[in-house]
Amino acid sequence: MTTGARPSAGATRLCPHCGAVILRSAAVCPSCKKHLRYAPGAEVEPTFVPLRVAGAFRHPAAGEAWEYAVTVTITDEAGKELSRQIVGVGALEPGEERTFTFAVEVFTPAAMAEAALEAARRG
């Protein structure tokens, strides 16, 4: 790769703040929200969100505590597992509730470039 060249689509790195695996193109970590480098338009919104799921469950008022693990699995079109991660674990005591939200956010290079141009125009 030559100096200043764009990394290939999907290239990753670790966030120096929280250690999450993130896209190399990100100027802001989507996990901890800290800035990674100065980039006009770094606060770019996703181009689109093709999937967003939210749900909740409540432990009944009686009984022993429940433990849970939140697992995310990504597979390709052939069903091959590309990634499997435990993103959180915990426990619910009787009467407690947890809500979970999962979203797939898509960022296109054209939208990111347009946001950077707009930010540069503003100043």
3-class DSSP state of 120:
helix
Q: By percentage, how much of the chain surpasses pLDDT 90? A: 40
Contacts of 60 (CB under 8 A, 6+ apart): 94, 95
**Cβ atoms of 6 and 25 closer than 8 Å:** yes
| pLDDT surpassing 50 at residue 2 | no
pTM: 0.61
Average pLDDT of 55-74? Answer: 94
- Break the chain into its structural domains and give their ranges: 11-44, 51-108
DSSP state of 45: P
